[in-house]
């Protein structure tokens, strides 16, 4: 039973019964926001996907002349003053500034007002892989230079910790429900969506803002990934460096930005007359339990994640039209993911449209899965498949339809978006057209 409130569509408290726990709420997307290397609004991002815009350019954030990699996919023309005052900007790391901006756009896109949701039943799951790494770097340099611990910023900790984005978002909008951060490397964003989905599905919340943010284009990050030999070093051909599935792929390209999605129970969305982009039909989560950076050679974890995703959505492989691939432009990932798609979809794998939007955005680490979820939702809502740019000749074992270099306009009914992270974290999300 519901208790207390005269506000329409909103309830302060709900007593969850055994019957409620057996029920599975449908979950829909009603708002989206994005800050990315190829656009700082949803409309710009969508247009860039359709036009195959390349977000990769020489690094401007610092002097990269001594680094093996001198380029990245940076966010361009971001103005934090559109979302924050000057005092707040000084006290919030760039990754969290991105997060607040994307969340504000998603909140506005969903058409929320304070009267359209119940604070106690509205929450935030917002992830980041490396959090405030620029703040960490700056404060380490400051301390090691002057040796005075009293000069360390009182905002070091709150600017550094990855969970601060979720906290700041809940404070801004007054969301008092579940609130926390996911951290699972490249699968972080997809796990944020999966967790928010499960919270709504089981009746613990009506509304969730889920998202991810990353600002890793820093000296420390580039140096670390260079040492790992994970980044492309095509400095003379940087615009071609992010080339998933191509024979000449030689590492990923660092990206940055943020995304936010508003998930709602279908009942709540319909009650307030919200627009619906698409439905989140199912999720699949697994672990490789194999290696800290390399995927399991036979793609066991990726296969299980996609199969679980299909089972959760109660859909057959032949019903999927498009795969938004993890597609990192690394030797191991691209061939292993292709192997997984063949194992899950059989002959239908050759009928699927498969593309990697990382070819345009670079790899946003903890924000990657979510920005690709937005690309997937847009594909369904607007009827197109984004291209894999820079794909000239598929590499050995990469023989699927990767939608090379040019957008494809078609009806898209169902999409699986894959994210596979260091540590063996696998997450697959299934989005589908909403039907009443």
Active site residues per annotation: 186, 326, 363
Residue 334's closest CA among 350, 354, 317? Answer: 354
Rounded CA gap, 98 and 74, in Å?
A: 12
Residues whose CB falls within 8 Å of the CB of residue 238, separated by 6 or more in sequence, listed in order? 56, 57, 58, 70, 71, 253
Tokens of 324: 């938004």
User: Residues in the chain, how many?
Assistant: 436
How many Cα atoms are found within 13 Å in the side-chain-facing hemisphere of 382? 18
**Residue 12 neighbours by CB distance under 10 Å:** 13
Rounded CA gap, 296 and 299, in Å?
A: 5
8 Å CB contact between 263 and 280: yes
Helix axes 133-146 and 219-228, enclosed angle (nearest 10): 110
Rounded CA gap, 296 and 63, in Å?
A: 37
DSSP class of residue 365 equals G
Three-state SS letters, 136-179: HHHHHHHHHHHCCHHHCCCCHHHHHCCCHHHHHHHHHHCCCCCE
Residue with tokens 């703040």: 135
Question: In Å, how far are 6, 89, 112, 270, 436 from 279, measured between CA atoms?
Answer: 29, 35, 19, 13, 10
> Starting from the edge strand earliest in sequence, which strands make up the sheet with 414-421, in order?
179-180, 122-127, 207-214, 257-265, 27-35, 278-287, 425-432, 414-421, 322-324, 353-355
Rounded CA gap, 345 and 322, in Å?
A: 12
């Amino acid at each position: 039973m519901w208790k207390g409130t005269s506000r329409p569509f909103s309830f302060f408290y709900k007593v969850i019964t055994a019957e409620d726990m057996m029920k599975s709420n449908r979950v829909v997307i009603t708002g989206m926001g994005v800050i990315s290397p190829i656009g700082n609004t949803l409309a710009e991002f969508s247009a860039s996907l359709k036009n195959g815009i390349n977000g990769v350019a020489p690094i401007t954030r610092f002097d990269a002349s001594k680094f093996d990699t001198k380029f990245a996919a940076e966010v361009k023309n971001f103005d934090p003053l559109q979302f924050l005052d000057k005092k707040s900007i000084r006290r919030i790391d760039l990754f969290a500034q991105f997060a607040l901006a994307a969340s504000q756009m998603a909140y506005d896109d969903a058409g929320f007002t304070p009267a359209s949701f119940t604070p106690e039943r509205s929450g935030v799951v917002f992830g980041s892989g490396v959090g405030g790494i620029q703040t960490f770097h700056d404060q380490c340099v400051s301390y090691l230079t002057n040796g005075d611990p009293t000069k360390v910023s009182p905002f070091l900790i709150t600017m550094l910790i990855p969970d601060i984005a979720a906290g700041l978002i809940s404070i801004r909008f007054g969301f008092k429900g579940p609130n926390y951060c996911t951290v699972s490397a490249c699968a972080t964003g997809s796990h944020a969506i999966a967790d928010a989905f499960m919270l709504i599905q089981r009746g613990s919340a009506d509304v969730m803002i889920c998202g991810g943010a990353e600002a890793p284009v820093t000296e420390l990050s580039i140096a670390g990934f260079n040492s790992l030999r994970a980044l492309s070093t095509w400095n003379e051909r940087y615009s071609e460096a992010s080339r998933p599935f191509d024979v000449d792929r030689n590492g990923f390209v660092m990206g940055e930005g943020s995304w936010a999605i508003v998930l709602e129970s279908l009942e709540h969305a319909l009650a307030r007359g919200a627009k619906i982009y698409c439905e989140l039909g199912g999720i699949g989560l697994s672990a490789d339990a194999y290696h800290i950076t390399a995927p399991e050679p036979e793609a066991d974890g990726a296969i299980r994640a996609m199969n679980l995703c299909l089972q959760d959505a109660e859909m057959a492989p032949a019903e999927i039209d498009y795969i938004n691939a993890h597609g990192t432009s690394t030797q191991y990932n691209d061939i292993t993911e292709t192997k997984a798609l063949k194992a899950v979809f059989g002959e239908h794998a050759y009928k699927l449209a498969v593309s990697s939007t990382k070819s345009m955005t670079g790899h946003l680490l903890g924000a990657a899965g979510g920005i690709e979820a937005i690309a997937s939702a847009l594909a369904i809502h607007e009827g197109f498949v984004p291209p894999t740019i820079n794909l000239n000749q598929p590499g050995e074992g990469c023989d699927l339809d990767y939608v090379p270099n040019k957008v494809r306009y078609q009806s898209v009914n169902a999409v699986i978006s894959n994210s596979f992270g260091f540590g063996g974290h696998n997450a697959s999300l299934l989005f589908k057209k909403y039907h009443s």
